[in-house]
Amino acid sequence: MAVAAFAFYGSTGVSWWLFAALILAPDVSMLGYLAGRRIGAIAYNAFHILIVPLLLLLFGHLSGHVVAIAVALIWIAHIAIDRALGYGLKLPSGFQDTHLGRIGR
Total count of domains within the chain: 1
DSSP state for residue 89 in the 8-state scheme: P
Rounded Cα gap, residues 105 and 14, in angstroms: 39
Q: What is the pTM for the complete model shown?
A: 0.91
pLDDT < 50 stretches in the chain: none
pLDDT value for 104: 72
In the chain, the N- to C-terminal Cα span, in Å, equals 25
Structural domain range at position 93: 2-102
pLDDT value for 98: 83
